[in-house]
Structure 1
Amino acid sequence: MTNKILITGATGGLGSKVINLLKEKTEIKNLAVLVRDEKNELAKKYTLDGIKVKFGDYADIESLKNAFKGIDVLYFVSGGDDNLRSILHKNVVDAGIEAGVKHIIYTSAVWKDESDAAPLATLIDSHLQTENYIKASGITYTILRHNLYAEVIEMMLGDKRQILKTKTIYLPTANGLSSFVPKKDLAEAEVNIILNPSAYENKILEFNGSEKINFLEIAKKISEIVNEPIQYISPEVTEFKATMNTYGIPNQVIEILSKFSMAIANGEFDQQANDLETVLGRKTKSLSEYLKETYQ
């Protein structure tokens, strides 16, 4: 019997890629998506494609119970801010239990330092609480711990125009290495799991890119792509925050950049596992190729 699949986060960058691949590999009648806004253009497109669109919000457990009825495999994209994430995620799992969901695939994150002093302590704790709750739910699961998306590079540095304007990468990431992975590679691997969940039952997989890189190397690669010298400066965090303030960057953005930069500097994303290559059956897209597509 074919599983009925529901994809959360379906209008986001990762969820939409998962849906596009699933459309090629399984019948539309087997697919459903969860969206918060019925006016969203992508939600409208899913309806035109014949995909069942269900409306719900992680903050509204009744909407989730209704959306999850008849669903066998739930692709559960993490969401919510750091302080509310574990509460919202508990709603998702509780609704899944009540609706009779058979398998949960949860997008978590990699980490090393679980202490309260870790730069991403609140984020890590929310993922850890969610993982533990899923494990205790009685529903079979696959937990996918993601390394940083390759798309984060442009979010942290700016686009080509901004890079050429400043000719500088200015982040307190020191020499920290990250195993960045493009969302497209994650989506491909995760579709393989969605379509064959029994092969990954009650497993925790760590999804890292095939290469490790630091921002000094990224600066060198971008220099070659744009044919301009791009320097890399890694200031102290206090200096970084003060400098960003002088440019009128919102405090929330500064805090996010600071926390993730410190986590990179601390080696949180310098991970070894090759689970992603195993599921894909190949290496992930080379970072040189990815950066070329982004900054050429």
Structure 2
Amino acid sequence: MKIGITGATGQLGRITVAKLKAITSAENLVALVRAPEKAADLGIESRLFDYSIPKTLVESLKDIDKLLFISGSEMGQREIQHKNVIDAAKATGVKEIVYTSLLHADTSSLNLAKEHLATELALKASGITYTILRNGWYTENYLGSLGGALQSGTLVGSAGEGKISSASREDYAEAAINVLTNEIHANKTYELAGDKAYTLSDLAAEASRQTGKTIEYQNVLEKEYTEILIKQGLPDALAASIASWDIGASKDDLFYETNTLSTLLGRPTTALKDTIRIFLEQ
């Protein structure tokens, strides 16, 4: 059985490949990537796989039995790109697709949700056996901001006291592998989130505790946060999206009380304090 991993050179993809290599032969794994030369260090076969070029998809999916379909990063393009992948998988006889979606993709106010939901619907209509992993937020999403906060003493955001049920990328990667290697998850949709929620104030407090520095959370308006991110060098559109995601967090779009992820893992999800500790040790 050959497993293809899309986006294998990305942050989630690399973790997943490493963990898969620990439980199966490298010969069973294929990295499906936009730039195969960047996948040389993965230690598995790599194939050109550009979501925007259907020809590359059909060629590279030949002999793939199962596909871990990690969602693309190009907002506004993903509905079309993802349909290209699903159509190619159907044409080449891929037997199963595990797709990384978004927590509560059908009800979330996040601007990410629409394209994820469209992909879910296309996947269900394809006739291919699927599992949809509606991943919550990655705790690591906040580590970039934490680095600056350690210098300035202030963690800035627009999430208010919204609760965030995040987990580590390693948690989500391991869950995806457990689904890929177990047949009981066919045609199911899972809402995945961390066991224990926190606020950005909690995050600042935990970073303060571990570093001995005083870090305060400062909540600002969405427009102001966008401007701050732009001044830090982020592209305008990305800055606006990040600020809008914080607004979604303030509405508890990133919150969900569930133990589904920890059940798939067979262990508790990685605690906020542990992700911060690992970040500080690096």
Instruction: Report TM bin, short chain.
Output: over 0.9
Q: Return the alpha-carbon distance in structure 2 between the equivalents of residues 248 and 60 of structure 1.
A: 30
Mark the CA change 1:144 to 1:246 in structure 2 (over 3 Å): closer, same or farther. Answer: closer
Q: Which amino acid in 2 is paired with 1:130? A: T
What does residue 280 of structure 2 align with? 295
Q: TM-score, normalized by length of structure 1?
A: 0.90
Amino acid paired to 2:133: L
Change (3 A) 1:20 1:113: closer
Counterparts in 2 of 1:202-217, with a 5 A limit?
202-217=187-202
Alpha-carbon distance in structure 1 between the residues aligned to 2:218 and 2:13 = 34
Q: TM-score, normalised by structure 2?
A: 0.94
Name which of 41, 45, 67 aligns with 2:41. Answer: 45
* Aligned partner of 2:49 among 21, 37, 56: 56
Aligned partner of 1:235 in structure 2 is: 220
Kept after mapping to 1: 8 A contact 2:195/2:257: no
Report if the CA contact (8 A) 1:4-1:72 is conserved.
Answer: yes
* Deviating more after overlay: 96-105 vs 26-35: 26-35
**Matching residue's letter, 1:94:** D
1:248-271 CA distance string (max 9 Å, x none): 654234212211110110110111
Question: What is the SS of the residue equivalent to 2:189?
Answer: strand
* 1:196-248 superposed Cα distances (whole Å, 9 cap, x missing partner): 2x210000011111110000111111111111111111122233334555666
Could you say which residue in structure 1 is the equivalent of 2:171? Answer: 185
Moved over 6 A (4+): none
Distance verdict in 2 for CA 1:136–1:248, change over 3 Å: closer
Is residue 93 of structure 2 the alignment partner of residue 100 of structure 1?
yes
Cα shift at 1:275: 1.3
Deviation at 1:76, TM superposition (A): 0.2
What one-letter code is carried by the residue in structure 2 that aligns with 1:36?
A: R
Between the two proteins, the alignment pairs up a number of residues equal to: 281
Aligned partner of 2:160 in structure 1 is: 174
How far apart in 1 are the matches of 2:248 and 2:178?
Answer: 30
Matches within 5 A, 1:249-268: 250-268=235-253
Match of 1:280 among 255, 260, 265: 265
Name the CA distance, whole Å, in 1 between partners of 2:124 and 2:3. 20
Which moved further from structure 2: 252-261 or 228-237?
A: 252-261
2:194/2:261 contact within 8 Å kept? yes
Q: Give structure 2 stretches of 5+ with no counterpart.
A: none
For residues 200 and 14 of structure 2, the distance between their equivalents in structure 1, rounded to whole angstroms, comes to 28
Unpaired runs of 5+ residues, structure 1, are none
Q: Residue deviations 1:119-165, cap 9 Å, x none?
A: x23x211000000000010000000000000110113x142xx2232
CA distance in 2, matches of 1:270, 1:13: 23
Q: Distance in 1 between matches of 2:102 and 2:232?
A: 31
Partners of 1:55 and 1:103 in 2: how far apart? 20
Amino acid paired to 1:45: D
